[in-house]
Structure 1
Amino acid sequence: MLYDEGLAAQPGRLTVQLLGPVRLGARQADIILPPKVRQVLAVLALRSGSVVTHNTLITELWGENPPRSATTTMQTYIYQLRQAVNQLGDDGQEFDALRTVSPGYALKGESIEIDIDRFRALIKRARVHLHDSPELTISLTRQALQLVRGDPLMDITLGQALIGSAVRLREEIMNTRQLVIDAEIRLERYSEVIGELYELCTRYPLREWFYYHLIDVLTRTGRRAEALAIYADLSRRLRSELGVDPSQPLKRLYLQILNGDERSELTVFR
């Protein structure tokens, strides 16, 4: 497998995992924090390097009507998080990662690694090589997807500061799955991606991009009737659930298949 050592996780660092259950760890060991402390950790990690104000944390935890004890309780959560961070240090040496910076707190430092940062670094590099080295794109993209352990932030309550971030992360993961399929198709690995595309169509039942490419590669591999059946099923689902017809690219693909047009060039769906 092609691998970029510069993007590998470094040993002896504090890790924050957000692409799935929220976890704090080091040296291959995770600490499962209380739910509210995990929520605070997620807000700080998503804004790593920036100051998160007291008001932002209070609004995230309790919305627009916080209790009178909100400030004190929030500070207790910060204390618990700081204790957990310090607990993960080597031989009594504390991680200098969670800092008090007026008017709030910041999670930063050379000793911390956040899975989202590594995920995005891998994908940025993968996109650069899509045209000149699809093999490298596939390797980097699949390394990024190995960091995904479930739905982002899946085990915490999502307040105002986190709900938009969770939506964005889900979209980034879905786009990453598209990127690896795109690279595989550029290498004409049609038969190899059919199973993966079926799985993705099930996972994202209204995402036309995955259906388009499943229908396309089925046709390229001689499974025309199967491709047409999938189009018909998707068309019924879109009308039933959303009241819309398939997009124009899908309709054109459908007509090409019906008319028996040659499909020798890479198709494009944007």
Structure 2
Amino acid sequence: MEFRILGSVQIHDERADVRIVPRGAKQRALLGALVVKADQVVPTERLVDELWGERPPANAANALQAHVARLRRLLPAPGSGAPRHEWVETSPLGYVLSLGPATTDARRFHHLVARGRELAASTPGRAADVLREGLTLWRGPALQGCGQGAICSAEAALLEESRLLALETLYDVSLRADRCAEITGELEELVTVHPLRERFHEQLMTALYRCGRRAEALGTYDRARRLLARDLGIEPGPVLRGRMEAILRRPDPVADGTAPVGPAPPRPAAQGAADVTGAWPAERPEGDLRALSAELARLRGHVELLHQEQRELSERFARLSARHTPGTRDGTGRLSG
């Protein structure tokens, strides 16, 4: 038996290969809340609030008891030869779902993610496989169709964050296992669905770079920067900036894609930096001047490289546009359109 909440709430009886889905919204909310709090007593008042919110019926305790009775009839009986097991038990304070020999897909997911993280340091390829196994347990948004009760809503948010963190770990170990090509498309979808999650942008930049798509990697940074500025009014964080600087420092992708691209190492604050007026101290040690010159040269190189990338992209865009603009001639001399 497995109680499933990574998607719509349902019960899978592996003995008969039967899937049981509660029909009513109240039944789904009740089962969802009990699974979330499995093996814990859930007070009657909390279950009433979960099912009816601010508008409970006049005899809410009796109405809840009726829903519990329907749920008990829905749950399968123990198999032949198995000890009698009461899935939903009554206590003086409320109700408890006693899992007994059963499990939940959420517990399986957390177990596989923990196992994947244990394997990450030694065998990233195996870690990626285990993490994918855990992520395949998801059939949709957690606790889908269970309403907006406090228990299910809070758990759904926690599970979704766990899913996103597991995805970040998956792509980290996939990059270490040199599986860049197979995750690029997935990351492109994720940055569209989660445009303000910087980690996915950074991982997409790395994957694109290692696939030899350097200009696209830098373009990903630029799009992320504009999104963050538009929606949050902030600049990219140090991890995303560090990835961009690391790519800029290495003009050509590593041929075999095995050497990692690390974030830019932190630089110490410049000695004798400008004060709030923007003026520099009159006297600066010779070492500071050399460091300043080196920094200016580095930044100048970055600016020139960005200008070059922009020119190349503009020229490519112009060539492609010319091919598809009505009345223009293509490479064969024939009119297009």
> Counterparts in 2 of 1:237-252, with a 5 A limit?
237-252=227-242
Distance in 2, matches of 1:66 and 1:41, equals 18
Greater RCO (Cα-Cα under 8 Å, separation 6 or more): 1
> Counterparts in 2 of 1:154-233, with a 5 A limit?
154-233=144-223
Sort the Cα spacing of 1:267 and 1:75 in 2 relative to 1 into closer, same or farther, 3 A: farther
2:260 equivalent to 1:265: yes
**Partner in structure 1 of residue 40 of structure 2:** 50
Please give the per-residue CA displacement for 1:67-111, whole angstroms capped at 9, x wherever unaligned. 32211111111111111114x544697642211122111111423
**Partner in structure 2 of residue 28 of structure 1:** 17
> Counterparts in 2 of 1:137-156, with a 5 A limit?
137-156=127-146
Cα deviation, residue 167, structure 1 = 0.5
Q: Which has the larger radius of gyration?
A: 2
8 Å CA contact 1:97–1:111 kept in 2: the answer is: no
Distance in 2, matches of 1:43 and 1:225, equals 48
Q: Which amino acid is the alignment partner of residue 265 of structure 1?
A: P
Cα deviation, residue 40, structure 1 = 0.7
Q: Which amino acid is the alignment partner of residue 154 of structure 2?
A: G
Sort the Cα spacing of 1:139 and 1:268 in 2 relative to 1 into closer, same or farther, 3 A: farther
**Partner in structure 1 of residue 289 of structure 2:** none
Alignment TM-score, normalising by the size of structure 2: 0.70
Identity of aligned residues (%): 31
> Counterparts in 2 of 1:105-116, with a 5 A limit?
105-116=95-106
Cα deviation, residue 266, structure 1 = 5.0
Please give the per-residue CA displacement for 1:33-69, whole angstroms capped at 9, x wherever unaligned. 1210110111111111111111110121222452322
Distance in 2, matches of 1:67 and 1:191, equals 56
Q: Which amino acid is the alignment partner of residue 227 of structure 2?
A: R
Q: Which amino acid is the alignment partner of residue 267 of structure 1?
A: G
Which piece of structure 1 moves more, 59-68 or 168-177?
59-68
Cα deviation, residue 134, structure 1 = 1.6
Query: Which secondary structure state, in structure 2, belongs to the residue aligned with residue 129 of structure 1?
Result: helix
**Residue-pair matches, total:** 255
> Counterparts in 2 of 1:124-143, with a 5 A limit?
124-143=114-133
Which piece of structure 1 moves more, 61-70 or 234-243?
61-70
Structure 2: gaps spanning 5 or more residues: 265-337
